Structure formats: structure tokens, C-alpha cells
Copies of this chain bind each other. A is one copy, B any other.
């Protein structure tokens, strides 16, 4: 048995090396020649042998224990080490028929690896069985946990590179085990691939004492087993087989024990200490290759031109004895085929890794039940009804919907969902039942690592489930890079015929930039939106629901979509309420609407358009229109509210973009437009610069280059509006998004009222100064300016 494992693994290594080097003569039937070598040598060898090693052993335990398993490759740069077994077990040929199980298919596989149009050097979405690419490092373990949540008896064999292990997101995600409930979740088997090197440096974990290494993982709550991969391949495989058996049996016991009693599982983990670039030549021209960072990419680079190196490559490749591994046709030796799990157990074909296949649409309750009546409840916390709605969704979908947050769910006023408990499988004290409760069966996932919750959610979605993540807007940029990488995965997946659409990534950004009264400047950042709008139009959506009902309707809409990233920006505080639920749904679906109740003479052609996007800017813009109406009752003001940011984009650039004709019907082609925006004002210009009326669009929004208008006094030489504390009205005035500034903007831009403008402007400025003074003296806003 062990000999077979060794041979299967050698076959993987041979295929991996072949992918990096060969465009012809795949089975080395003739001596290796320069023309067999690829024109450009690309790919990563270093992590590949260990990945195949783990894959082969995962297959062994799948067969032995009849396991439902998936494979997650943290060191995605070692794609050859995963593509090889996926090819050898036949799956690649099923999905891509040209890669047949023979010499010709192998040749194509070799040639098209890391070749334009071929497989990439990471575990890209094109690779069957993959749910994590590993291009950007740090997310393998949180993806793995996300995958096994609510997937009882699923094992995620998760290889973590020792380079990846140095990243913050990975370092934090080990603690995911405190959120795992073996009675309803599967398990992760982490395999730390401790090969000692990154691109050009040793890894930290490879250079500390073994006792420290073991302590670290015990401290993380795992039971580590060290396996040494050495030159003695048979012994190495023997040791790994023992460690895998021990680990799997432990996990099976944990699952079984969980029927009796739920307790935090101490999961086994394997530390696979093997040389980087294992099985490559050890030393070439006085340079270390195997066991050194030089094997990270292409261990021997100058082989096409350099005959000496070509010979070394030939010897290296022949060391795997391809003639013994493959039959005459190029198919894997028959007795090795028995190491391959049956079709229904192959990791590369596990439908869980193509989550859209098994995705069940969410059961959604009627919105009406949760909506508010804006006539009755003129002010409301916008996120509260959403909390009730989400609670009900959890009711209806007890196994495939979770809500995620970095311990801000209550702060974000979504705590109605605590009725379903907060997931927690570490120690619980009696005091924990004082408002909200902790439970191993809780459905709300909270840990103070935005990276970990985002990773969990991604893993959960990619395996066919649904989720919702809430976070402070100001800290969303912490995960902008992760969200981007997820978007890339989704964008590519959308074009792969066999990848079925998965549920969208829904992110609620709340506790927004405009309401950071005591948190101040560090908590103010509307930049996440800016970083996402440039991305894939088929994937990205951004919504700014202005009140509670539009937030409900937006969420209802988003939860039904697939293969998207839906960003919803909505504040948690009390705000005026405008639309009943039916109007809300219409506005959300159109993405934009004319609000007659906030307009003046709405039936007539407007003199000026006042537009808003975002809850707080909408409130101020409406108040501004009221102010202007008092002075100029005859003025025709159209009020436009934008919920779907991409409605502004030309229709040729985004599926949700309005046609020019539609856009003009809202914003006119020649009238002044005052646009009050939640984020950076330039973003509106970037979206609308091609529109006919663009030159007339005047945008207010959050700006970083303002200076506070009031001079600092002797009392407060450090008085600054931005760095420290502001009232909401101070912050608005600072940014000229307040009702007074917008009113003046309107007046300034409507020529025909210029005679009366001076008078009105002066009174409005006085009111603005009064508002500032009040806040300055009392530390709060004048009551009539509050929500």
C-alpha cells in the first residue's frame, strides 16, 4: 500500500514538473531535447510536492473511512501539485475533454499550464474542486471553516503554507475553532506545510524551537502531530498515513461524541515538515534547490539553452521513473487507480466545491410584516426593522443562512437576531445570558476580525449557502482587498460553464461616516465604495437606501441575487422615514426615483434638480428644499433620490446604468443639479462625466480637504472638527452637505431668483451659524435639527 502511495505521489510530482517544463515528449520516451522545453518557464514548484502529498493521503482516508471531503490549498501558488492529482483521478478530463488520460492529453496539459488561455499557476476557479485560489495569501483557513459550518460530517483538508501562516488574516483564523459545533458542522483538518521558505526568506515558524511550535498550536486549541517528510519517501508516507488515520479517527470520534454532549472540539492538525521543492535536485552548481527557497518557482531556469541543465532536468524527471508510473498509452498504472476514490467521493467532484449546484434559494418572509408606516413612525432607526427581518429569515432557513459581524451587530441595532443566539463554543458563563445569549447552536457569527468573518462568509457562500455581513463603514476598508479577491473569483466563475452561480456576498456598511460623534476621525471613511466601483460591473452593486423600508427592500432584493457583491450603505441611528414598503420596493427596483413629496411644483418642468444619495444627505437635502421653498415658493424644484449608485453610470458600462434618455429624464439636459452624496463627491463625477448635463451637476459629499470654519479659541487650541468629536450637524456643515449649505447652493445656481438671493442667503447663513454655535456650546445639536 505505501509503495503505491509513493508511486501515485511520484506520478503527481512528475506531472507537476512536466507542467512547468515540457511542451513535448511528455513521457520522456526519447532523450530530452531543447525543443521539448517550453519557451517560457513559469509556475511554482516549491509548494507543489507537499500539496500532492497531502492530496494523495486525503484520498487514502476518504477511501478508508468513506469520507465526504474537500481540499483547500492555501499555497495556491503550488497549483501544479493540485492539478496533477485532479488530472490523474480523471476529473480534469471530464471537465476539459482535451486533457485525455494518455500521452496526447498529458502533452496538452503540460503545454497549457501557465500558458495564455491555460490553467493558471494558482488554484483558479477553472480548477474543479477548488474554492480558494490562494493568489492573495491568508484566507485558506477561514474559507475552510466557512465551508464546513452547517455541513455536518464534511471534512475540509486544508493545507496552509508556512508563508501564508505569517499573514494576519491567517494568524487570526486559527481561533475559528471556538465557533465550531461538531454536532451541526463538519471539521477542518489543517495541515501546516512547513517547508521552511517563502519566496526568498525562511519562514518564522520553521525557525523557532519545536516546543514553541507545538505550544503555539496547542495555544490555538489544536492537537498538533508532526510528520517529517524526508528523502525516505516510504517512511514519510508511512508516517503521514498514521497521522492521517489518527486525525480522521479523532475527528470521527468528535462527531460521534457530539451526539451526547456539545463541547469545544480540540481538532487534530498536522505539521508536515518537508523540504521546499521536495524531490527536486538538491544542489545544482553549488546552489541549494530542494530544501531551499530557490525551489519556490522554477528550480532550474536555464534549461532550454543550457545543455548541462537540460541533462540535470532529464535526470530529475527520470528519477520519478515515468515508465513505471504510466502505461504505454500514458495512462496511470492500473494498480494505482485503486487509490482514487469512487466518483461520489472525489474531492475534485464534490458538489460542495461547486456550491451553486446544491444551492437552495432562501425562503424569504413577506416584507410587509417588517415594514414601518412612515405616516405613523416619522423617525426610526433604519436598521432595526432589518434586524427583525433577518431574525425571521433565520427562522425560515435554519441550516443555510448566517449573519456575520465583527462584534458590532448590537451596536448596529440588528440585535433582534440574537434571538437565535450568538455562535460560541468556548466557555460560557451564566452572565452571558444578560441580553443576547451564547450557544454552540447560535446563528450569529461574531469575532473581532473582519478578515475572519469575511473568510467564513466567503467559504459559506462558495459551498452553496447564504449570508449577510454587517460592519462599520469606516472599517470596511480593512477587508477591501479580500472582497476584491472574492469578486475576481466570482467574475471568472461567471464565465465558467460548469460553475453554478452562488449566492451573493451581501455587506451592510453601517455606523456611517456621518455619525461618528464620539468615535471621531478614525471611524470616518466612505472610501470602501470608491475602491469597489471600479471593479467588475457584472458583480458589483452599491445601494444607498435612505430609510428603513428601502433598506428592507434592498436587502430582500440582494438576498435573491447570485454571483454579486452587494454593498448596502445605511446608518443605524434614528432618521426620518419617507416611503411605505410598496413605494420602497419600486424605488429599489428602479434604483432611482423622483420624490414628489419633497419637490416643489413637481408637475412642472423644474428650474433646478436637487438629488440625494444616502440617508443623511437625503435628510439634509429635503430640509434644504423646504428652506428654499419658504423663500421662493414659486421655484420649481425636482427632488430625485438615488438608491442604486450604478443607475448613474451609462447603460453601456454597467447593467444597472440608465440609458442617456432615462438619465436626462431625471436630471434634465440643461438645468442645474445639486447632488448631495454620502461619499466622496468626485465619485459622482466619475460616474456621470459622460452625461449630457454633467457640467451642471454640482456635488456635495464627504471631503478630506476641508478645514474647520471656526477658529480655534484660547480655550481649545486643539479644536478641530475632523480629528476629534463633532456633532452630526457640525460634521455636515464642515462638508457643506448640511441643509443650509445645500439651500444656498440651490439659490446660488438658480439665476432667475438672484434678486432675492442676497436676503435669503444672509438669513440662511445666520441659521447655520446659530446651529454651529449651539453645538459648540452644548456639545449636542439644536433639538430641531436632530432626528
Listed in ascending order, the chain A residues whose CB lies under 8 Å from chain B are 38-40, 42-43, 76, 96, 98, 108, 112, 114-122, 124-126, 133, 135-138, 163-164, 166-173, 175, 178, 198-204, 207-208, 212-221, 287-288, 291-292, 294, 407-411, 415, 422, 424, 426-429, 431-432, 434-436, 438, 446-452, 474-475, 477-478, 480-481, 484-485, 488, 491-492, 495-497, 517-523, 525, 527, 530-531, 534-538, 653-654, 680, 682-683, 685-686, 689, 694, 704-705, 712, 714-727, 730, 775-776, 778-780
Assess whether A133 is in contact with B724, with CB atoms less than 8 Å apart.
Answer: no
Q: How far is the CB of A165 from chain B (nearest CB, A)?
A: 8
Assess whether B410 is in contact with A164, with CB atoms less than 8 Å apart.
Answer: no
Closest partner residue, chain B, to A777 (CB atom): B116
Closest partner residue, chain B, to A218 (CB atom): B215
Closest partner residue, chain B, to A138 (CB atom): B168
**A166–B450 CA distance with the chains assembled, in angstroms:** 10
Assess whether B718 is in contact with A126, with CB atoms less than 8 Å apart.
Answer: yes
Across the interface, which residues of B come within 8 angstroms of A727, CB to CB? 116
**A200–B680 CA distance with the chains assembled, in angstroms:** 31
Assess whether A218 is in contact with B212, with CB atoms less than 8 Å apart.
Answer: yes
Closest partner residue, chain B, to A43 (CB atom): B518
This chain: copies in complex:
2
Q: A166-B447, A520-B120, A723-B120 are in contact. Are A178 and B204 (CB under 8 A)?
A: yes
Assess whether A117 is in contact with B716, with CB atoms less than 8 Å apart.
Answer: yes
**A537–B215 CA distance with the chains assembled, in angstroms:** 47
- Can you show 28 pairs from A to B with CB atoms below 8 A apart? A39-B779, A96-B718, A116-B721, A116-B725, A116-B775, A120-B520, A120-B521, A121-B519, A126-B723, A126-B724, A136-B474, A166-B452, A167-B168, A168-B170, A175-B204, A200-B436, A200-B446, A201-B407, A201-B446, A207-B426, A214-B219, A215-B218, A218-B219, A219-B220, A480-B527, A480-B531, A484-B525, A495-B723
**A137–B136 CA distance with the chains assembled, in angstroms:** 22
**A267–B331 CA distance with the chains assembled, in angstroms:** 57
Assess whether B208 is in contact with A427, with CB atoms less than 8 Å apart.
Answer: yes
Across the interface, which residues of B come within 8 angstroms of A717, CB to CB? 96, 497
Assess whether B292 is in contact with A520, with CB atoms less than 8 Å apart.
Answer: no
Across the interface, which residues of B come within 8 angstroms of A200, CB to CB? 407-411, 415, 436, 446
Assess whether B776 is in contact with A714, with CB atoms less than 8 Å apart.
Answer: no
Q: How far is the CB of A646 from chain B (nearest CB, A)?
A: 12
Q: How far is the CB of A464 from chain B (nearest CB, A)?
A: 22
Taking A124-B724, A208-B426, A215-B219 as given, write out 19 further A-B residue pairs in contact, using a Cβ cutoff of 8 Å, ordered by the A residue number. A108-B715, A117-B721, A118-B716, A121-B518, A135-B520, A167-B448, A167-B450, A167-B451, A168-B168, A168-B170, A168-B171, A178-B204, A199-B408, A201-B446, A208-B427, A212-B221, A288-B431, A484-B527, A491-B704
**A267–B491 CA distance with the chains assembled, in angstroms:** 47
Q: Of the candidates B119, B292, B730, which one forms a contact with A431 in the assembled complex, judged by CB atoms under 8 Å apart?
A: B292
Assess whether A208 is in contact with B178, with CB atoms less than 8 Å apart.
Answer: yes
Q: Of the candidates B125, B288, B496, B689, which one forms a contact with A689 in the assembled complex, judged by CB atoms under 8 Å apart?
A: B689
Assess whether B112 is in contact with A716, with CB atoms less than 8 Å apart.
Answer: yes
Across the interface, which residues of B come within 8 angstroms of A447, CB to CB? 166, 204
**A232–B294 CA distance with the chains assembled, in angstroms:** 58
Among A43, A135, A213, A214, find the residue whose CB has the most chain B CB atoms closer than 10 A.
Answer: A135
Q: How far is the CB of A220 from chain B (nearest CB, A)?
A: 6
Q: Of the candidates B136, B166, B723, which one forms a contact with A522 in the assembled complex, judged by CB atoms under 8 Å apart?
A: B136
Assess whether A481 is in contact with B478, with CB atoms less than 8 Å apart.
Answer: yes
Assess whether A518 is in contact with B117, with CB atoms less than 8 Å apart.
Answer: no
Across the interface, which residues of B come within 8 angstroms of A218, CB to CB? 212, 215-216, 219
Q: Of the candidates B98, B495, B780, which one forms a contact with A715 in the assembled complex, judged by CB atoms under 8 Å apart?
A: B98
Task: Please provide the 5 A-B residue pairs with the shortest distance between their CB atoms, ordered closest to farther.
Answer: A135-B522, A216-B219, A168-B168, A117-B719, A42-B518
